[in-house]
Structure 1
Amino acid sequence: MSTDPFQLPFRLDRSRNAATQVFDHLRELITTLALKPLASLQRNDLSAYYGLSSTPVRDALTKLSEEGLVDIYPQQATVVRAIDVQSAMQAQFLRLALEVEIADQLAQQVTPQLIGTLGNLISQQQLALSLGDFDTFVKVDMAFHRQMFASANVEQLWHWVRQQSGNLDRLRRLHVPIEGKAARVVADHRGIVAAIEVGDSAQAMANVRSHLTGTLTQIEAIREKHPGYLI
């Protein structure tokens, strides 16, 4: 994204915690790569942009630092961190452990409603791919996996995983536009749903495992295509 994201207006919801809103907005900009690694975040500029005192901005930046998305230099600037591959690998390990078990459970408790919902999301992803709309593609991808968690009645775990996945999300953002990756994601999703639909737990689990390990097998290719983005 070449446009300065801070040129776009931000509307603060006065009924919600201000620091949380700043955190959510900055995290979205970072994980979607609207704010790229090494981008500088000046606290005074952010306070002016959000129309807030320095306290909620400081609190939001501190939380981003704890998640490993920014580095804070006292009395200086805050800088968006390069993508931490080790952090991404740990988040992927956590997600894989959970989703493999979820696939097993869904295959044992399959319903037509679940298959229809997941199938509709795959169709939305295919449409986004045909339009070259990778922002929408990634959003629908998230919705597909969140639906799996929700259908297994463990949606709270989805939110927990999301909190650990900032670096993984950025890594996947770099990977998805690489030729062939998005088409494989769609094919993988179809394979997962097909195995769940016929109640084949072993195949559903194997398909999830294969699907979720794709990005981490391409680290060097991503590093070569985006020098300076990964640590």
Structure 2
Amino acid sequence: MNKKAIDVLAPFSVEQAEIVREQIRKTSVSQQIHDALRRRILTLELAPGENLSRNEIAVYYGVSQTPVRDALMKLEEEGLIDIFPQSKTEVSRIDVAQARETQFLRMSLEIEIARRLAAAREPDRIAAASAILARQRTAHEAGDLTYFADLDRTFHRELFKAVGVGNLWELITDRSGHIDRLRKLNLPDPGKVSEILDYHERILGAIADGKPELAEKLVREHLSGTLAQVEQIVARHPEYF
């Protein structure tokens, strides 16, 4: 245990300190399982409607059922699973209304972020996002859609961080399970990846050129893309809704 952890536990008795350590361990394991299951849900490896067994998950990850229970409760709070007491637990269907709600929040924030960055006229603030865009192009050329999608989220997170509101990105992420799964279904569509790259480049260009109105317009168009295709996505994958 490092010095900082020892200092934190110093006010406690030996028995109390051990309880705190156990809580830290449980929290860490629970968070790791939550993150692993969440990623599998967002990538559709665990499909909407699929049953989840607490016991099987515990065996799979080699842990007790307690951290699994805690992880599942958090996933339920995020709307990614449905728990039916004394019955079953399953991955939630994609909720289009909730996806629209989350997208409304994200668009409101990201439009303001783009406007502020453009008005600031400080190109260095978007250097990190520009570097991510270059890596996205490489992922596209390699045909790696999973990595491309990860980089897509990182690109937008860097814009939030550029104006000092990175914590708001985490807030949106906690609510974005439904829209993220919609994007996962939309990403393989012909021309979608090229369209994303084009918008990212043009958004950064508008910011670098100090054009807030253009930056706002491009962000609005970019973030509306998947929901504009929602009827076609639902028609292709009705079992997920």
Distance in 2 (CA, whole Å) between partners of 1:22 and 1:97 is 32
For residues 93 and 49 of structure 1, do their structure 2 counterparts lie closer, same or farther at Cα, with a shift above 3 Å needed?
Answer: same
Partner-residue secondary structure (3-state), 1:72: strand
Match of 2:213 in 1: 202
- Say whether the 8 Å CA contact 2:126–2:162 is kept in structure 1: no
Matched, 1:81 2:92: yes
The secondary structure found in structure 1 opposite 2:82 is strand
Say which is worse superposed, 82-91 or 72-81, in terms of deviation. Answer: 72-81
The offset of 1:16, in angstroms, is 5.5
C-alpha distance in 2 between matches for 1:114 and 1:66:
34
Whichever residue aligns with residue 49 of structure 2, its letter is: L
Measure the CA separation in 2 of the matches of 1:59 and 1:15.
9
Tell me, in whole angstroms, the C-alpha distance in 2 between the residues paired with 1:132 and 1:76.
Answer: 41
Residue identity opposite 2:67 in structure 1: P
Q: Aligned-pair distance for 1:122?
A: 1.6
Q: Say yes or no: does 1:69 pair with 2:98.
A: no
Deviates more, 1:200-209 or 1:70-79: 70-79
What 5-or-longer segments of structure 1 have no aligned partner? 1-12
Which residue is equivalent to 1:225?
236
Of 55, 59, 69, 2:70 maps to 59
- CA offset digits 1:182-204 (Å, max 9, x no partner): 11111111110110011001100
- Number of residue pairs matched by the alignment: 218
Q: Distance in 1 between matches of 2:196 and 2:217?
A: 15
Residue 97 of structure 1 is matched in structure 2 by 108
Instruction: After TM superposition, give the deviation of residue 15 of structure 1 in Å.
Output: 8.4
On the 8 A contact 2:30/2:70 being kept in 1, the answer is: yes
Quote how far apart the aligned CAs of 1:100 are.
0.2
Provide the residue aligned with 2:145 in structure 1.
134
How much has 1:75 moved relative to structure 2?
Answer: 2.4
Aligned to 1:118: 129
Instruction: Give secondary structure in 2 for the equivalent of 1:194.
Output: helix
Per the alignment, residue 216 of structure 1 pairs with 227
Which amino acid is the alignment partner of residue 41 of structure 2? I
Letter in 2 for 1:92: Q
Write the distance in 2 (CA, Å) between the matches of 1:74 and 1:83.
Answer: 21
Pairing of 1:7-26 with structure 2 (within 5 A)? 17-26=28-37
Aligned with 1:157 (options 163, 168, 173): 168
> Aligned-pair distance for 1:156?
0.6
Distance between the aligned counterparts of 2:195 and 2:57, measured in 1? 39
Which structure: greater helix fraction? 2
Pairing 1:186–2:186 present? no
- Does the Cα contact within 8 Å between 1:43 and 1:77 map onto a contact in 2? no
Helix, strand or coil at the partner of 1:86: helix
Q: In the aligned structure 1, how far is the partner of 2:157 from the partner of 2:96?
A: 23
2:181 paired residue among 170, 174, 178: 170
Supply the distance in 2 between the matched residues of 1:34 and 1:14 (Cα, whole angstroms). 27
**Superposed displacement of residue 17, structure 1:** 2.0
Q: C-alpha distance in 2, partners of 1:95/1:108?
A: 20
The alignment's C-alpha RMSD in Å is 1.6
The answer to which of 117-126 and 24-33 deviates more is 117-126
**Tell me, what secondary structure is at the counterpart of 1:26?**
helix
**Correspondence for 1:36:** 47
Does the Cα contact within 8 Å between 2:113 and 2:159 map onto a contact in 1? yes
Give the counterpart letter for 1:117 in structure 2.
A
Q: Give the alignment's TM-score, normalised by structure 2.
A: 0.86
Q: Distance in 2 between matches of 1:118 and 1:52?
A: 38
Identity of aligned residues (%): 44
